[in-house]
Structure 1
Amino acid sequence: MSTYYHSQYYAYELTKQNSSSSIGRLNQSLINATVDLNPHQVEAALFAFRAPLERGALLADEVGLGKTIEAGLIVSQLWAERKRNILIIVPPPLRKQWSQELLEKFYIPSIVLENKNFKEMQAAGIMNPFYQQDMVVITSLYFAKNKAIELRRVNWDLIIFDEAHRLRNVYKKSNKIARALRSATGGFPKLLLTATPLQNSLMELYGLISFIDPHIFGDEISFRKQFSRGTKELSQADYIDLKQRISPVTHRTLRRQVTEYVKYTQRIPITQKFMPTNEEWELYEKVSSYLQRDLLFALPKSQRSLMTLVIRKILASSTFALTDTLQSLIKSLDELLIGKIQDNRLNNEEIIYQDIDELDDTIEEWNEEEIEIDELTEEEIINLILSEKRELESYYELARSITKNSKGGALLLALDEGFNKMRELGANEKAVIFTESRRTQRYLKEMLTEKGYNVVMFNGQNSDSDAKRIYEWWIEKHQYDDKITGSKTADMRAALVEYFREHADIMVATESASEGINLQFCSLVVNYDLPWNPQRIEQRIGRCHRYGQKYDVVVINFLNQKNAADQRVYDLLSEKFKLFEGLFGSSDEILGSLESGVDFEKRIQEIYQNCRTAEEIDDAFNRLQEELDEQIRIKMQDTRISLMENFDDEVREKLRDNFEQTTIQLNKLERFLWNLSKIEGQREAVFDDNSLTFIIDKKKYQLMSQIKKEESTNNVVHYRLSHPLAEKWVKQAKGRVLIPKEVTFRYCDYQGKISVIESLVGTDGWLYLDLLNVESVETEQYLIFSAVDNSGNQIDQDICEKLFLLPAIEHEEIEIPNSINNTLQYIKECQVEAVLNSIMERTAEYMDSELEKLDRWAKDLKLKLEAEIDELSVEIDYLKKESKSIRNLQEKLGMNKKIKELEKKRNDMRRNLYDQQDKIDEQKDLLFEEIEAKLQQKVTNKHLFALKWRII
């Protein structure tokens, strides 16, 4: 029993653009998100909008606090505002994860751009695949760098860099990727996400800030002179100056500051040792020794190192995986003998790589030089190939003769221990087992199924008969809700995860499951094969040990007791990278100390390749450990604390306020959405106020908040503001022309108490509603109520807002008397003036901060010029002193000539100093003129409706 005036008011309240100084700035993303948001995430998103987002922000919350959610809130809000040219640049392993998170948590579709589909799109006539309508573009750092020209041609509303610490050395000329990306993305709003913005030098902070705003600091040289002397040498004034400069664009929250809202669970490590049989160890040593040779014909020279790494992964996985690989190598030698002797190359990478999932990022980062070998005669080549083939055939026969793996037997013992621990913790008796090999995956599934476990497999193909059956089950189950995306790959992944959650005991997964899926319902992780890349391991464990996990997570790792190198790798991963125990896993500083996990993997590979004795292995790992100690050593702890963090009490108070305001705002928005839907959809749907559900054409829709609370997502469409049905009804409400009528607001039927309205029962009056749109630093919209009662008393804005919480009935059309119209127009003009004055005050503050920033920038550059003259004077004085001690006449003349040249250069610099300083001031003035132009207010007003009100 509400009116079309109600639904139009609700529609504009739900979609208006608020100031970033209020929680309302995130209205649309708050109501569209499927996650229960924490106050620190809301604060980070608001901070980014305040930055302002036209340039960007650095979000540097500690690991585990949900920076992806913070970025997702920002993307979701921009998306709702139809600002949809959004690019996300990430390390390759995170591409699918971002795509999945955007879809699952914010219902935003995306496309992952890579070489293959980029070329396919261009072949299909799409000139620039970076330009996508209504899809977020996700790509890797390397691909973005290689396609910088095409990337630059899109007018991006936002560019996000995840794991942005990879860009922090952009100031180094050798860092070509970061420099190319800074150039390609210059001028576009950017969001940088990293838990480790600062590792070894303040220059790294300069590098990241330069991505966001090149005018916060003068330039690289001036920054070095002023700030990069080391924290202990910085004066207190420099410290304060540095913090003041970065604080408008840098935000960091610590885990200790949010424990009131976020509960963390422990990681509990279990090491499962196993002893290979004599046959298994013989096979391992023979194949390992074979891989160490300089000359091999079964592996191509161009990718010898990478393919050796892959075969070592397979070798450590299982003899069943190795058997097929050896067969492939033998087959490749046969083909080489038949007709490929001339180029002595073999393009069988796909044969070797096909057993290992998710190698794209490793291949992309793995640079190696082709091995040069001595020239051989054709006869020598044939004899060597035949000898190598016989050797591989003997390995193949040995591998085939091994029918049981000791590591597989150890898995059964490990699972018993792991499930006992699950029962002890009260957690689900479910385990995810990670293996590097798809062939090992099939072996494990068969072995575990025989033992009575219900097993589901997850890999990069997901094409086995069980996966197809599970997919069909899932499609049928969700035919009447909105779980089905239409992307078979995404739906297949969702189906396998849901089957694991509801039916299976164990998921045996390859590296494909280490990204883009949420397994927090499982708290037992088994690394059957342990990667050498620490970042990969953290990703695996992070599928289960993540925000929302209710139980401690048990991590089981396997250790070959005969393999000294394996033991040292495990020690590094466990002791140095702290991957397997504690509250949070590997810390920001430790994991962030690796520029690339692939580079670390390559270092390990080199040790396996080059060391043949236990002593050599020990020496090599000792050297690597010393290097790691140096990298991991936290040189800048004091700087991080003073520069990147705020006082705990200050942060906690702000978070408490955000928590309360977000809850109030979300409740209000959901009430508006529900009431609007009932009014606009009354002829299409049957509504149930108790469960907040409605039904159309057999489909059941449920308001998002109810789904979160009850965790009842099956066969229900998640109803939210961004749902097409809600968008249709909002558009319908906003597009309706409402003529003035008399409306009776029925407080007598309201379920609740509103004191200010209760005092007005029995009165009547007049009301206007207008939409004020102001464009300045940001676009802001205000709904302005102008109202009086019949005695001519003004009714406040907040009372008018509460009036539209009441049920109401429309009556006949009316005409507004001129005297009332003039009164309401005057009230509206006064309220508009008050709003504009408030915006003007905030704009003035922004202008002052921008002017101060540009003054500092100009001062930096001027000081650099003066410092260069001073340095030249010091050099001249030194040379003069040196000249006095020279006795050789020719040398003395040469030295004096050099001194005169330097004095001339110094004089020229002194003459030019003021000219150059004037040019800097001219640059500053031009930049400020640009800012002033942006700050000009553009004000428009749209009258929405008028009515005569009565309260009973």
Structure 2
Amino acid sequence: MDEALLNRHHLPYRLCVRCEKPTITGAPYCMRCGAGAHGSRSSAPGLSPEAPEPAIIPLIETPDGAPPISWEIPENLRHTALLKRQKLIPSDGFERRLASFLVSAPTADRIQLLSLGRIPIEPRPYQIDSAVSILESMRGSGILADEVGLGKTIEAGIVLKEMILRDTIRRVLILVPASLVFQWKQELEEKFDLVVTEPASPDTLVEAESDGIHLLSLARAKSTKVQEALLRIPWDLVLVDEAHALKNHLTQSHRFVFSLKRKYTVLLTATPVQNDLRELYNLINIVSPGFFRSIRWFRRKFMVDRFTVREPEQLRSACARVMVRHRRADTLIQLPPRKVNNLVVIPSEMESELFDLTMELARRTMSQLAGEGEHTALLLSILLKESTSSPQALLATLESAVLPRAVREKESLLLRRVIELGRQVKVTAKMRELVRHVMSDPEPIIVYTEYIETLRTLRNLLTEAGARVFVYSGQLRMREKADTLLAFRAQGGVLLSTEVGGQGLNLQHCHRMVNFDLPWNPMRLEQRIGRIHRFGQQEPVQITNITAAGTFEEVLMRVLLSKIRLFELVIGEIDSILAYLQDPVPLDQRIGRMILESPSMSVLTERMEQLAEEIQAAQRAFTEDQLISAKVLDLPAGTAPT
């Protein structure tokens, strides 16, 4: 087990005499090698070797006079179970699960979490601490204010799952930025096995009597009809992500959330203080009205001026009663660096013509269906992304007659030419470069694509080249997915994947990945990276992006993603940055509109640069707010709170 982790949580341990690895004091045998306890050298944090071992708190009370319950396991059964466990589960994963259990096990001063045995993920100990603090110390209402990238969504998910299992809540409202709606739904469904609904209309809430978990963007929730419906419902739990949007008590967002009928409230933000100390008061007043008595009392007690704290230690101590905050330095999470390689290939003349004609078809369709709304823009965005992924993916869509009949009839010549070119281009320059890149290094590698037809084509090409290929997609059943991942971990080779958020996609044994095509949502890219650049990764992570010169995908990589330095950001940071944008429209929709409405690549490049500058401004604002929050709320590194 991790000695630093045991010390951090003050868990007494001894060193096994055989393997010299830490194991919990009181355990009859080593959890790693199975050696017995006799003769082992003992140690415990804060205790001398001669000190007696602390008593183990009994989990089951026995009646007076009854014989004690024996937990002794026959040696042959213990040995068989240990061997089976070690074969099926990597030792580091088993140790993390054991540590999580020990940290979450009931003691004299903490509850036992029912949810940990019912979710397919392994929360870090500090995430469990956060959930326990909200549930127990803060009685279900508090602020999760960890630094960016530490998994506040996981902490909130544990709180939510635990309350549901204990039948504490039935009606839940989750409010998030529009750009995070899909990600929240995906995380709660896949990592916590929760059913999440996105109400189609205010009537949906009334008809369903509001029971269940309802997920909305804050912008939509504030609209007149939806707001009226939400304000009528007595919610058991209201959860708000990127809650710094509520910092100003004069805004509609703050007044709306404050007015909701609710038993429990959980806010998530990495920057609870931004421009003014009164913002901290406003957030805490939502979670616990009257906690600081009044704004006048708060100013007199804790404020020299808007930016300067009076009695900082007292303020931190008070905030700790309604706020959980971990710093990256506290969590001992140190990840290896990332290395990014952008490969730009030169497409053939036929490929370039196919791309140009697809762009022309999309723009003509857009002009003809200008009044059809977002559905048309979404359909055309898919066509454009498929054109830079593979001809096979593009043809699968065009040949399924997804375009409206009026467009197919009016643009029949252009459509026929696009289909003819797509059938002629069997292998693209990007595909050849991928095969070369994969075969140049025997180390395991993950290749991501958004489209199943592209995946099939790449599988055939790589197999013909002699690579060992595994396929992971939504078309596999749960058991098939698990078997695929186990085989890839054991045998190496190439994992072709269309899914980035699926259960169990923790692939830190692999440190190489390729983005064969680029999703327009930066958070999807971040999810891909997060599968391998996570706790347990030992090697520098190599990220390769393959784009074709002269395409909008190359402009997206060269101008937008490079300028905002997406591949250098901490996992989770892009979520907070995008929440700082003034435009509530999700970024991928803005990019799609930009591509469709730009008459030339030069115009598209100019518009992409403007968008990059907008995101850079949001980055600067977010960084400044992080520093302000740290100054107000964080003790110096290595200092324990009093």
Flag whether TM exceeds 0.5 (same fold). Answer: yes
Secondary structure at the aligned position of 1:442 is classed as: helix
- CA drift at 1:386: 4.3
Secondary structure at the aligned position of 1:191 is classed as: strand
- Structure 1's 21 and 498: CA in aligned 2 closer, same or farther, altered over 3 A? closer
- Structure 1's 315 and 85: CA in aligned 2 closer, same or farther, altered over 3 A? same
Counterpart Cα distance in 1 of 2:534 and 2:585: 24
2:4 matched residue in structure 1: none
* Aligned partner of 1:273 among 341, 344, 359: 344
* Aligned partner of 1:611 among 592, 598, 604: 598
Is 2:149–2:573's contact at 8 Å kept on the other side of the alignment? no
- CA drift at 1:234: 3.3
Is 2:559–2:608's contact at 8 Å kept on the other side of the alignment? no
Counterpart Cα distance in 2 of 1:414 and 1:527: 12
Q: TM-score, normalised by structure 2?
A: 0.69
Counterpart Cα distance in 2 of 1:113 and 1:130: 10
Counterpart Cα distance in 2 of 1:407 and 1:395: 19
2:89 matched residue in structure 1: none
Counterpart Cα distance in 2 of 1:121 and 1:585: 31
Is 1:279–1:402's contact at 8 Å kept on the other side of the alignment? yes
- Structure 1's 238 and 622: CA in aligned 2 closer, same or farther, altered over 3 A? farther
- CA drift at 1:95: 2.1
Q: Which amino acid aligns with 1:625?
A: A
Counterpart Cα distance in 2 of 1:231 and 1:313: 54
Is 1:197–1:205's contact at 8 Å kept on the other side of the alignment? yes
Q: Does 1:305 align with 2:294?
A: no
- CA drift at 1:32: 4.6
Structure 2: gaps of 5 or more residues: 1-60, 71-104
2:186 matched residue in structure 1: 96
Counterpart Cα distance in 2 of 1:62 and 1:546: 16
Q: Which amino acid aligns with 1:251?
A: V
- Structure 1's 328 and 39: CA in aligned 2 closer, same or farther, altered over 3 A? closer
Aligned length: 531
Is 1:21–1:50's contact at 8 Å kept on the other side of the alignment? no
Is 1:264–1:547's contact at 8 Å kept on the other side of the alignment? yes
1:623 matched residue in structure 2: 610
1:112 matched residue in structure 2: 196
After superposition, where does 1:699-718 map in structure 2 within 5 Å?
none
* Aligned partner of 1:449 among 446, 449, 463: 463
Is 1:533–1:598's contact at 8 Å kept on the other side of the alignment? no
Is 1:201–1:636's contact at 8 Å kept on the other side of the alignment? no
Residues 865-914 of structure 1: CA distance to partner in whole angstroms, max 9, x if unpaired? xxxxxxxxxxxxxxxxxxxxxxxxxxxxxxxxxxxxxxxxxxxxxxxxxx
- Structure 1's 602 and 295: CA in aligned 2 closer, same or farther, altered over 3 A? closer
Q: Does 1:559 align with 2:632?
A: no
Q: Does 1:412 align with 2:435?
A: yes
Q: Which amino acid aligns with 1:416?
A: M
- Structure 1's 555 and 152: CA in aligned 2 closer, same or farther, altered over 3 A? farther
1:648 matched residue in structure 2: 637
Counterpart Cα distance in 2 of 1:322 and 1:298: 20
Is 2:363–2:597's contact at 8 Å kept on the other side of the alignment? yes
After superposition, where does 1:323-334 map in structure 2 within 5 Å?
323-329=395-401, 332-333=403-404
1:854 matched residue in structure 2: none
- CA drift at 1:643: 1.9
2:14 matched residue in structure 1: none
Secondary structure at the aligned position of 1:110 is classed as: coil
Percent identical among aligned pairs is 24
Q: Which amino acid aligns with 2:586?
A: D
- CA drift at 1:395: 1.7
After superposition, where does 1:901-916 map in structure 2 within 5 Å?
none
Q: Which amino acid aligns with 1:164?
A: E
Counterpart Cα distance in 1 of 2:265 and 2:321: 14
- Structure 1's 594 and 579: CA in aligned 2 closer, same or farther, altered over 3 A? same
Counterpart Cα distance in 2 of 1:198 and 1:515: 34
- Structure 1's 203 and 629: CA in aligned 2 closer, same or farther, altered over 3 A? farther
**Greater relative contact order structure (CA < 8 Å, 6+ sep):** 1
Structure 1: gaps of 5 or more residues: 12-19, 103-108, 132-136, 337-383, 423-428, 475-491, 655-952
Residues 317-352 of structure 1: CA distance to partner in whole angstroms, max 9, x if unpaired? 1111112333345x745x44xxxxxxxxxxxxxxxx
Secondary structure at the aligned position of 2:624 is classed as: coil
Q: Does 1:389 align with 2:475?
A: no
Is 2:446–2:512's contact at 8 Å kept on the other side of the alignment? yes
Q: Which amino acid aligns with 1:649?
A: G
- CA drift at 1:147: 9.1
Q: Which amino acid aligns with 1:99?
A: E
1:508 matched residue in structure 2: 496
The alignment yields a C-alpha RMSD, in angstroms, of 4.5
Counterpart Cα distance in 2 of 1:275 and 1:650: 55
Higher normalized helix content (fraction of residues): 1
- Structure 1's 561 and 36: CA in aligned 2 closer, same or farther, altered over 3 A? closer
Is 2:157–2:188's contact at 8 Å kept on the other side of the alignment? no
Is 2:523–2:575's contact at 8 Å kept on the other side of the alignment? no
* Aligned partner of 2:264 among 184, 189, 195: 189
Residues 403-460 of structure 1: CA distance to partner in whole angstroms, max 9, x if unpaired? 211111111122235x45x4xxxxxx2x332222232222223323333444343444
Pair member with larger Rg: 1
Counterpart Cα distance in 2 of 1:6 and 1:273: 78
1:525 matched residue in structure 2: 513
Counterpart Cα distance in 2 of 1:496 and 1:31: 25
* Aligned partner of 1:252 among 325, 337, 351: 325
Counterpart Cα distance in 2 of 1:23 and 1:588: 38
Counterpart Cα distance in 1 of 2:511 and 2:108: 35
Q: Which amino acid aligns with 1:513?
A: V
1:57 matched residue in structure 2: 142
Q: TM-score, normalised by structure 1?
A: 0.48
Counterpart Cα distance in 1 of 2:484 and 2:228: 37
After superposition, where does 1:324-403 map in structure 2 within 5 Å?
324-329=396-401, 332-333=403-404, 335-336=405-406, 386-403=409-426
1:694 matched residue in structure 2: none
Q: Which amino acid aligns with 1:507?
A: L
Residues 167-204 of structure 1: CA distance to partner in whole angstroms, max 9, x if unpaired? 446757565xx7655544x4321222333445666676
